[in-house]
Chain A
Amino acid sequence: MKTLTNATVRSGAARDFIKKLNSQKLLILMILPACVYFFVFHYIPIYGIIVAFKDFSISSGILGSRWVGLKWFYEFFNSYVFWRLLRNTLMLNVYNLMFGFPVPIIFALLLNEIKGKRIKRTIQTISYLPHFISVVIVVSIMNLLLSTTGGVVNKAVAAFGIEPINFMYEKSWFRFLYVFSAIWQNFGWNSIIYFAAIANINKELYEAATIDGANRWKQTLYITIPGILPTIGIMLLLRLGSLMSVGFEKIILMYNPSTYEVSDVISTYVYRKGLLASNFSFGAAVGFFNSVINFIILVASNYISNKLSGDTIGLW
């Protein structure tokens, strides 16, 4: 008797499951390509991580190469430049976060206050145009503007009687230039998600607030900002998750030996030592180390965020 009920229960559960599957088959079909994509291009290649623990040689391939344990990690940690790379990578990201993160939010809030739809759209379009310019062009523009021989900036500086500044060669300017140009290039694009979040806030809240006598400032403070807070939180978490990664393309275009001290980051080092000098294993080890740190930061900040917000703002 007992077994029978169990079986019926099970078959009941199975029936439910199939029923659910049936009713959501279109949804499942829609999400399938994404799943396949992630599996094929992001999960399967993970086995390549083992290269970091091997002495990769072309002939023996990934699986056949000799195991060397943590050799490459030791080599990296004991490297002459390890602390400098770590510091530079973190500093660039922290600056980028500190100054770059609030800008699109403030921009979205300000633009939200503009009444004319046409002006609003125009400003928005112009603001995210730079996003589509390649970094090569951005750096060339910087080179031209900041040149000591005929650059506009130095001409302006000279008008105030200040000696021309060799911007691209002075290490004290590197971080500012890097972060500032990144903000200029991306704030418009990054603000799009906040516009979307603002548009999603229930309009009745504003009406109610107007009736209660709240001015624009109060409305922003008590309706708009709390309304987009979850979005801000999630964006912040995602940013924290890449706190240890800096794209090397722009730095390689911008740096020169005289600014290595502040501009050399983990990814440029991997590029020079891993790719240019064909040390694939070393490059993989450093990249793996980088990802692990990123992963830890992401999990930790998500945990903290969940704790602080009472499980309302978090990635999972």
Chain B
Amino acid sequence: MKKVMSLALAGVLFLFVGCTKETEVAQKSILMNTLPVELTTDVAAPYSLPLEKNEGATLKIAAFENLYGAASYAENLPVWQEIERRTGVKIEWEVIPSSQYAVVMRTRLAASRDIPDIFCLPDDSMVPQLASSELLLPLNGYINEYGQHTKKLYEKFPEAYLLNRDQDGVVYTLSDVYTEGNTVKMYAALIRKDWLETLGLSIPETLEEWTETLTAFKNQDPNGNGMKDEVPLAVSTMISLAPFASAYGLHSAYSGFWGVDALGKVQYEVLTNRYRDYITYLNMLYRNGLLKFFLNDQNGRNLLVHQNSVGCTGAEMSGISQNYIKGLISAGVKAPQVVSILPPKTPSADIVFEERTSIARRVAVYKNTANPDMAFKWLDYVWGSEDANVLLNFGIEGVSYNMVDGKPILSDWTLNNPNGLDPASAVRSLGAFPSFLNVQNGEFLKQWSSEGEIEFAAKAVSNMAKPFPLQVILTNEETQILSAYNSDISSYFEEMQIKFIMGTEPLSKFDEFVSTLKEMGVEELTKVRQAQYDRYKK
């Protein structure tokens, strides 16, 4: 009797084990599927909305907090309520302010406990580390199976794919996509056009003209208060000096001085004579009191701008110009004009205007999530579909936008917000224009740009160059090389750069500087960057 019982039990157990094995295998086949993403073919199993019919389907999402601080995603904002309604999936938010996100999330991931189904990566360069730690779900199988919108988005914005696949073609992440936004909102130097007019100058185009303009700002009292208190060029981050780097053919804004020559060879531009000429020029500006630093002290810089004392300030999103104008008006300046301008021409007479990086803030699915199919479909819809794109950019129909001739048009509520919010904050208060999965919609950005901005953007687009693809996902070995050399090299570089500019280190030491950089392992870094570039071009 006993024997029979145990046999039966064993049989049941075996069956049970067998069953789980089988379903596991079925699951695994898609889980482990890292075959290349089929960009051109249709998906195998298109899905339809809602994703889940039974109630109680939830996704835990960890994301950066809303950039409009007064409305937290955790409060279930209208846009995300709408997403919940359409997909039939409840969202359980876990939002962390962006200043703390990296530290909090990194520790959570390091402990690999209590990881949400979908999460923003704490640091965009962490993909290989997290992938080899078995925390990220490879998405290739899902994209081929269900990625109906994702594939279309890849077609529209190839970089969303190129910068999110690893060396073996495995895609672990989706990300913000700025490609379209970059053609409308760009970072460029701002100049006081009314000062130019007061002094009878035109907008500077060459480096010599820039020098003349800044000198005139310094000496000819454009703010008319009888004092030489003007700061011709006020800079709060080194990136603001990018226009001058451009004039020497250097890529400093979004490429970290990594350039590529005509033969496709990657080069660290800091080691070149062009870079030396560039800092020599900046040193001249600094010595003559034309350039002033406000590093770590953006408020100090803004204060001065609003006091009508700054002629030109560095690369900023041009939306800032409205803020400056407001500040200047309240300081009593009559009809101030702050406009974006293109960088000076290079010696070869063309303009190098670096485009902002096209992706940011990667988002991944946790490998052991309970329902990976649902998680991916949700992402595919929210990130990739045009319906969701309108929702995530324009916000709620009838509130922040209206449909006119089949096109979404921002409402008066957004453009002249009764609560005094600027348009970006207004839509953000509804949960739109989000701080993750933000696929920027050019039309949306255009509608709240000023005429001057649109005009400038149209002119600038033809001069824009893609930045070095620093976001190409590294291999584990490359990550190790980078972490061994990069932080020392970049602190040494930053330190010497500012010393050369401020003249505390004579320019005669430049050769020594270059050879120290080489000793510190710049060549190793160059190899990594070359590999990145080659993979990007493949």
Q: State the A residues within 8 Å of B (CB).
A: 57-59, 61, 75, 79-81, 140, 143-144, 147-150, 168-169, 171, 253-254, 256-258, 260-261, 264, 272-273, 275-280
Q: Is the CB of B231 within 8 A of A58?
A: no
| Residues of chain A within 8 A of B130, CB atoms compared | 58
Q: Is the CB of B487 within 8 A of A149?
A: no
**Contact A277:B133 (CB < 8 A) given known A149-B309, A171-B504, A256-B295:** no
Q: Is the CB of B487 within 8 A of A58?
A: no
User: Could you tell me how many residues of chain B have their Cβ less than 8 Å away from some Cβ of chain A?
Assistant: 40
B15 within 8 A of A: no
**Contact A278:B106 (CB < 8 A) given known A80-B488, A273-B487:** yes
**Contact A278:B126 (CB < 8 A) given known A147-B300, A257-B494, A257-B497:** yes
Q: Chain B, 276-300, contact with A by CB distance < 8 Å: what is the 0/1 string? A: 0000000000000000110111011
| Residues of chain B within 8 A of A147, CB atoms compared | 297, 300
B386 within 8 A of A: no
| Residues of chain A within 8 A of B504, CB atoms compared | 171, 258
**Contact A143:B297 (CB < 8 A) given known A57-B133, A258-B498:** yes
Q: Is the CB of B129 within 8 A of A278?
A: yes
A-B contact count (CB 8 A): 87
Would you give the shortest CB distance from A167 to chain B, in whole angstroms? Answer: 12
A149 to B310 CA separation, bound complex (whole angstroms): 11
Cross-chain pairs A/B with CB under 8 angstroms, 27 sampled:
A57-B129, A58-B135, A79-B488, A80-B488, A80-B516, A80-B520, A81-B488, A81-B492, A144-B300, A147-B300, A149-B292, A149-B300, A150-B304, A168-B297, A171-B504, A256-B296, A257-B494, A257-B498, A258-B498, A260-B495, A273-B488, A275-B103, A277-B483, A278-B106, A278-B123, A278-B126, A279-B483
| Residues of chain B within 8 A of A61, CB atoms compared | 112
| Residues of chain A within 8 A of B483, CB atoms compared | 273, 277-279
Would you give the shortest CB distance from A175 to chain B, in whole angstroms? Answer: 16
Would you give the shortest CB distance from A142 to chain B, in whole angstroms? Answer: 10
B54 within 8 A of A: no
A61 to B494 CA separation, bound complex (whole angstroms): 34
Q: State the B residues within 8 Å of A (CB).
A: 103, 106, 109-110, 112, 123, 126, 129-130, 132-135, 229, 231, 292-293, 295-297, 299-300, 304, 309, 483-484, 486-488, 491-492, 494-495, 497-499, 502, 504, 516, 520
Q: Is the CB of B110 within 8 A of A280?
A: yes
A31 to B520 CA separation, bound complex (whole angstroms): 53
Q: Nearest chain-A residue to B310 (Cβ)?
A: A149
Q: Is the CB of A148 within 8 A of B487?
A: no
A77 to B416 CA separation, bound complex (whole angstroms): 59
Would you give the shortest CB distance from B289 to chain A, in whole angstroms? Answer: 10
Q: Is the CB of B492 within 8 A of A80?
A: yes
A43 to B76 CA separation, bound complex (whole angstroms): 42
Q: Is the CB of B300 within 8 A of A264?
A: no
Q: Is the interface of A mostly helix, strand, loop or mixed?
A: helix
| Residues of chain B within 8 A of A276, CB atoms compared | 487
Would you give the shortest CB distance from B321 to chain A, in whole angstroms? Answer: 21
Would you give the shortest CB distance from B455 to chain A, in whole angstroms? Answer: 32
Q: Nearest chain-B residue to A81 (Cβ)?
A: B488
| Residues of chain B within 8 A of A277, CB atoms compared | 483, 486-487
Would you give the shortest CB distance from B230 to chain A, in whole angstroms? Answer: 10
| Residues of chain B within 8 A of A254, CB atoms compared | 296
Given contact pairs A58-B135, A59-B133, A273-B483, enumerate 17 new A-B contacts (beta carbons under 8 Å).
Answer: A59-B112, A80-B488, A80-B520, A149-B300, A149-B309, A150-B304, A169-B502, A254-B296, A256-B498, A257-B295, A257-B494, A257-B499, A258-B295, A264-B491, A273-B487, A273-B488, A276-B487
**Contact A58:B110 (CB < 8 A) given known A149-B309, A253-B296, A278-B129:** yes
| Residues of chain A within 8 A of B129, CB atoms compared | 57-58, 278
Q: Is the CB of B491 within 8 A of A58?
A: no
A171 to B499 CA separation, bound complex (whole angstroms): 10
| Residues of chain B within 8 A of A261, CB atoms compared | 495
| Residues of chain A within 8 A of B126, CB atoms compared | 278
| Residues of chain B within 8 A of A279, CB atoms compared | 483
| Residues of chain A within 8 A of B516, CB atoms compared | 80
Q: Is the CB of A59 within 8 A of B135?
A: yes
**Contact A75:B484 (CB < 8 A) given known A58-B110, A256-B498:** yes
| Residues of chain A within 8 A of B299, CB atoms compared | 140, 143
| Residues of chain A within 8 A of B109, CB atoms compared | 58
**Contact A149:B495 (CB < 8 A) given known A58-B130, A258-B504:** no
Would you give the shortest CB distance from A45 to chain B, in whole angstroms? Answer: 13
Would you give the shortest CB distance from B341 to chain A, in whole angstroms? Answer: 23
Would you give the shortest CB distance from A152 to chain B, in whole angstroms? Answer: 14
| Residues of chain B within 8 A of A253, CB atoms compared | 296
A306 to B125 CA separation, bound complex (whole angstroms): 53
Q: Is the CB of B491 within 8 A of A260?
A: yes
A276 to B123 CA separation, bound complex (whole angstroms): 9
Q: Is the CB of A149 within 8 A of B133?
A: no
Would you give the shortest CB distance from A37 to chain B, in whole angstroms? Answer: 21
A57 to B129 CA separation, bound complex (whole angstroms): 8
| Residues of chain B within 8 A of A59, CB atoms compared | 112, 132-135
| Residues of chain B within 8 A of A144, CB atoms compared | 300
